[in-house]
Amino acid sequence: MPPENWERFKRVVLSAREGSGETDGGPVPVALIVDSPWLPGFAGISHFDYFTLPEVWWAINLRLEKLFPEVLFLPGFWVEYGMATEPSAFGCRITWWENSPPSVNPVLYDIAEVTRLKVPNPREDGLMPFVLNLYRHVEKRLKEETGGAIKMVAARGPLALAAHLRGTTELMLDLKLYPDGAKKLLEITTETVIKWLSAQVKNLSGVEGVMVLDDIVGFLSPADYLEFAHPYLKRIFSSFGEMVKVYHNDANIRGILEHLAETGLDVLNFSHMLDIGEVRQRMGKRIVLMGNVPPLEVMVQGTPEEVKSWARTCLVKTGGRGLVLSAGGGVSPGTPAENVRALVEAAAEGL
């Protein structure tokens, strides 16, 4: 990512940590989470080519930054295989599709089987070693050819990973019927998230931020969140000191906003179904809000003017402070370039 984009993003975070929410006087930053659900289709290639041809993957990510130099793409030149990387390290069977991200098949058919699971070694297990190897080459090439850098790495969160290993419905039942087994599973997935993020950080030379993506947290009641999610998220974020910590969850987290604010996250990317003004009021000034233009109804299906209108609403309801304009989730398949450009223009036009 261009260093100047990261520095502007980081300044917003540091200002929020101080409680001031002051800006540098420039436009509100624009950041988008981009990965394999959108990028192959945007480039007009198959997912097979995107995942297996490094030169093609490189060209697509580089073209994206040249098309939208004002946008911070997170985590930036993301080496990922859909959601398969972490589950593959546990032995999950991965089913590959030509024109969509891969599917993950659960490996636990009974929660009692959790006793045989071990935290994987990122340098040996599943797809993790391939990610680390490609990242090293990408970082070197970025520095030499563009002067850019990889400033952030990412991982699926503890409940999202547990749901891949067990099955989402099965995990939800386990939380109520077999809570001790579920907690054992969450201990393992939490340690995996920390170990995987740490391995990526150590593998690269200039990482300053981590991103955790976990929608399953939003499926829980406030009471279940406090028991089965909060301590694990807090442990993950506390493991990365002063690094910038981004949390993505575009499920319904309305009932747990205040609790999430206490996990140690810096930036929340959340659903457009939540009013950004309410989220600001309930989470306080120390959390940067990243959002929350509807990723499907507006970013994909809407017009550029509709994108601008929604973005202006975000600006008005936050006063442009502690805000990073974005979609209310990741960039959805089919998002046209003109709507990304409209988001940039809305930021430049301001209030």
Q: Are strands 93-97 and 100-105 parallel, antiparallel or unpaired?
A: antiparallel
Range of the domain at 32: 3-349
Residue 351: pLDDT band (50, 70, 90) is confident
Quote the number of domains for the chain. 1
105-135 burial, b at 16+ Cβ within 10 Å, e below that, comes to ebbbeebeebeebebbebeebbbbeebbeeb
Checking if the pLDDT of 109 tops 80, the result is yes
The enclosing domain of 274 has a CATH number of 3.20.20.210
- The rounded distance, in Å, linking the Cα atoms of 253 and 262 is 14
Are the beta carbons of 82 and 88 closer than 8 angstroms? no
Per residue in 1-32, pLDDT (tens digit) is 678 899 999 999 999 998 866 666 688 999 99
Per residue in 268-305, pLDDT (tens digit) is 999 999 999 999 999 999 999 999 999 999 999 999 99
SS3 282: helix
Say what the pLDDT of residue 23 is: 61
- The rounded distance, in Å, linking the Cα atoms of 187 and 159 is 10
Element (H or E) spanning 105, and its range? strand 100-105
Per residue in 128-162, pLDDT (tens digit) is 999 999 999 999 999 999 999 999 999 999 999 99
- Whole-structure pTM value: 0.96
Are the beta carbons of 323 and 315 closer than 8 angstroms? yes
- The rounded distance, in Å, linking the Cα atoms of 82 and 78 is 10
Element (H or E) spanning 73, and its range? strand 71-74
pLDDT, mean over the chain: 96
Say what the pLDDT of residue 19 is: 81
Strand ranges in 250-313 using DSSP code E only, listed in sequence order:
267-270, 288-293
